[in-house]
Structure 1
Amino acid sequence: MYGGEGRMRREDGMIGIESRKRGAIWAAFVGDALCLGTHWIYDLDERARLFPQPHGFEHPQPGHYHAARQPGQQTHYGDAALLLLETIAKQGRFDPAVFTERFRAVFSRYDGYIDHATRETLANLERGLDPPGADDAQMATVTRLAPLVVAHLEDPALLEHLERLTRVTQNRDDAVAYARAAAIVLRELLRGSEIEPALEAARRDALETAPYVAQAIEAARARREQDVRDATLHFGQACPLAQSFPATVHALLRHGDDLPRALIETLRAGGDNAGRAALLGAWLGAHLGVEAVPRAWTDRLAAHDRIAAALQRLVGTPSAA
């Protein structure tokens, strides 16, 4: 029902770190690509008319934001994530100056939809601002943090790198705070933590400096018995992190043992589903390992070979996807 025969989580619960790393990155790209055709459709009745029972990889309708794309391609979120993955894989670490220049080179001539954060960042680069990030607190950075967290997992400066990455395209403290929480959850899941302790680590970290992030986690916990659609409608389907972060945390709590179902339910909740599914995919791929990501989905990615090659360089072992 949700992606065919996926690779199941090992019954003994022992998931290796390489599987977690690959799972986080593959599932982030899968989550984004699944939602290409249904992205930014907020009216669920309209979505049902266009796509009565979407299962992912729908073809964008004429006039849609991603109308020029084909199923299996990424949205602008995934394309930026691929840029970051390949940059880190080549450098062996995150270098903000190198990533900034590559971001400028790629997105100044990008042939797909460009969001507010990207447009303003490019304008700020032309003005010579440093950091060049936009006045934006939407989903941009959290959709592409998996390569950075994987590369710097045991680096004491991980969260400093995360802030630098965020401010390349989002120069706001609240964007940094949400990205920090998302990265802490991912870090803990990669280390083998269960979901609740991973969320608690992020909540505690945010208590003093960003209490609104801690409150978002608590709000998601309070609605964990709701289905993803209803909880997402409650928190908001839109891109701002004040809406999208708690909605994504809720989906993690609701379907933390079932990656395909979590992603499809997120897709069907509408709005900025690609952004939420990219972050959710990273979390659940880290939690459940690459075995939980349906091979039928990874095989459909247009960028499959590029992702696999970068992963081999970054993780140091052949990709299992």
Structure 2
Amino acid sequence: MSEANILDRSSGAIMGAFIGDALALGPHWYYNLHDLRRDYGEWIDTYTDPKPDRYHPGLKSGQLSQSGFILTLMVRSLVDRSGYDSDDFCRRLDEELFPQLDGTPVSGPGGYTSQSIRDVWRQRVQQKLPWGQTGSHADTTEAIERTLAIAVRYALHPNQLATTITQNTLLTQLDETVVSMTVAYGVVLSLLIQGHTLDTELSGKLMALVKNGQLPFHAVTRDNLQNPRPGDPDPPRAGRFASPDALLTPSYMAAAATDSQIRIEPAWKVSIVYGMPCAIYHQLPAAYYLAARFRNDFESAVLHAVNGGGQNQARAILTGALTGAQTGLSGIPRRFIDGLENAAALEKLATDLAAGIENS
């Protein structure tokens, strides 16, 4: 693996996430596509201002939502501490985020606070509970949106990646299925940073990591998901997750993206096929599909994510990171980077984080 290529792909993943977040700021959460087209035209291809009577009022094109704000806190913590330091990250939430919240949805940086973060705020600020007793049962992607930076930092160390993402996810979300899907996304992102492609072979590579004990998923099948034979022992549990199914989803989505008899046209309609809502089980299939279909075309991947409506911000963050990891920072059109507010600072954060990978 070329160190320069890993640096480029890692930086691309982080900047791809920032870009996806900002691109969806204006047209965020339109579940009526007619209204979306009325307000923003037939095709959104750049940063836009939010409408005054909708989400994120008062913000301007190119700015980040609260998801981008929290991702920035995570990247800064990882860079400053040369790796994941739970105490440091939690301190940043306590000192830099929570004082700006009031427990209501329409508040805080970015003008909107998601469910899991509101729940944590109540438990930390109102109930004075310690970290570790703050998780809720939100089934959304907030943990992925920040732990994708952890996946970048530990892209060459799957066991450490899985353990650390699990620990951070549990700060806000307790559902085991949500945690396993969050970890799976992080491992997928790490393989893309290593230079693998989001294709029909990727899940086999993930399952190989399960078999050799590097990922905390339980599996009883043999190679290529062949059935166990009589007398085969029950494999030792590598970790907490009962099923490896979250690791299989990416290659099924890649198969759908490349099968000539399965066409989603235009590709933004992936949001209708897999669902517009916020839940993680709607978001991940769509992001995997777009990142597989447009793995060499960052612009198409992220814009189709945005133009699909619904929870397009999470879809665009997840798709942007996956596709940016495949194209590299060098493959992201410069207009998307330059259009971000504080672009130079964000790009430096991304490259600083990437520079620490080989030292992890």
Q: Normalization by structure 2: what TM-score?
A: 0.78
Q: Does 1:210 align with 2:212?
A: no
User: How far apart in 1 are the matches of 2:251 and 2:152?
Assistant: 26
Query: Contact (CA 8 Å) 1:143, 1:276: kept in 2 or not?
Result: no
Equivalence for 1:226: 264
Query: Contact (CA 8 Å) 1:15, 1:288: kept in 2 or not?
Result: no
- Tell me: CA distance 1:38–1:303, structure 2 relative to 1, closer, same or farther (3 Å): same
- Tell me: CA distance 1:15–1:269, structure 2 relative to 1, closer, same or farther (3 Å): farther
Q: Does 1:273 align with 2:312?
A: yes
Query: Contact (CA 8 Å) 1:238, 1:272: kept in 2 or not?
Result: yes
Deviations 1:174-201 (A, max 9, x none): 2211111111111111111121233444
Deviations 1:103-157 (A, max 9, x none): 1222221342111010001122233351422211201011223321222222341
- How do 1:1-321 residues align onto structure 2 when only pairs under 5 Å count? 16-52=5-41, 53-108=43-98, 109=100, 110-111=108-109, 112-125=111-124, 126-128=128-130, 130-155=132-157, 156-196=159-199, 197-202=201-206, 208=219, 209-210=242-243, 213=246, 216-217=249-250, 220-221=253-254, 223-224=256-257, 225-227=263-265, 228-316=267-355
- Tell me: CA distance 1:233–1:211, structure 2 relative to 1, closer, same or farther (3 Å): farther
Deviation at 1:242, TM superposition (A): 1.0
Deviations 1:187-232 (A, max 9, x none): 1111111212334444775674235535644653464232333332
Q: How many residues align?
A: 305
- SS of 1:122's equivalent in the other structure is helix
User: How far apart in 2 are the matches of 1:34 and 1:61?
Assistant: 14
Query: Contact (CA 8 Å) 1:184, 1:198: kept in 2 or not?
Result: no
User: How far apart in 2 are the matches of 1:153 and 1:14?
Assistant: 12
Equivalence for 1:9: none
Deviation at 1:249, TM superposition (A): 1.1
Query: Contact (CA 8 Å) 1:267, 1:274: kept in 2 or not?
Result: yes
Gaps of 5+ in 2: 101-107, 211-216, 220-241, 258-262
The letter of the residue matching 1:220 is: M
The letter of the residue matching 1:42 is: Y
User: How far apart in 1 are the matches of 2:351 and 2:296?
Assistant: 26
- Tell me: CA distance 1:294–1:238, structure 2 relative to 1, closer, same or farther (3 Å): same
- After TM superposition, the structure 1 stretch with the greater mean CA deviation from structure 2, 269-278 or 96-105, is 96-105
- After TM superposition, the structure 1 stretch with the greater mean CA deviation from structure 2, 108-117 or 255-264, is 108-117
- After TM superposition, the structure 1 stretch with the greater mean CA deviation from structure 2, 163-172 or 148-157, is 148-157
Deviation at 1:42, TM superposition (A): 1.2
- Tell me: CA distance 1:286–1:219, structure 2 relative to 1, closer, same or farther (3 Å): closer
Q: Normalization by structure 1: what TM-score?
A: 0.87
User: How far apart in 2 are the matches of 1:313 and 1:131?
Assistant: 32
Query: Contact (CA 8 Å) 1:124, 1:134: kept in 2 or not?
Result: no
Query: Contact (CA 8 Å) 1:96, 1:168: kept in 2 or not?
Result: no
Deviation at 1:68, TM superposition (A): 2.1
- Please identify the structure whose Cα radius of gyration is greater: 2
- Tell me: CA distance 1:30–1:284, structure 2 relative to 1, closer, same or farther (3 Å): same
User: How far apart in 1 are the matches of 2:193 and 2:119?
Assistant: 33
User: How far apart in 2 are the matches of 1:230 and 1:304?
Assistant: 30
- Tell me: CA distance 1:264–1:49, structure 2 relative to 1, closer, same or farther (3 Å): same
Q: Provide the identity percentage.
A: 23
User: How far apart in 1 are the matches of 2:137 and 2:348?
Assistant: 34
The letter of the residue matching 1:213 is: A
| Greater relative CO, 1 or 2 (CA 8 Å, sep 6+) | 1
Query: Contact (CA 8 Å) 1:229, 1:265: kept in 2 or not?
Result: yes
Query: Contact (CA 8 Å) 2:27, 2:309: kept in 1 or not?
Result: yes
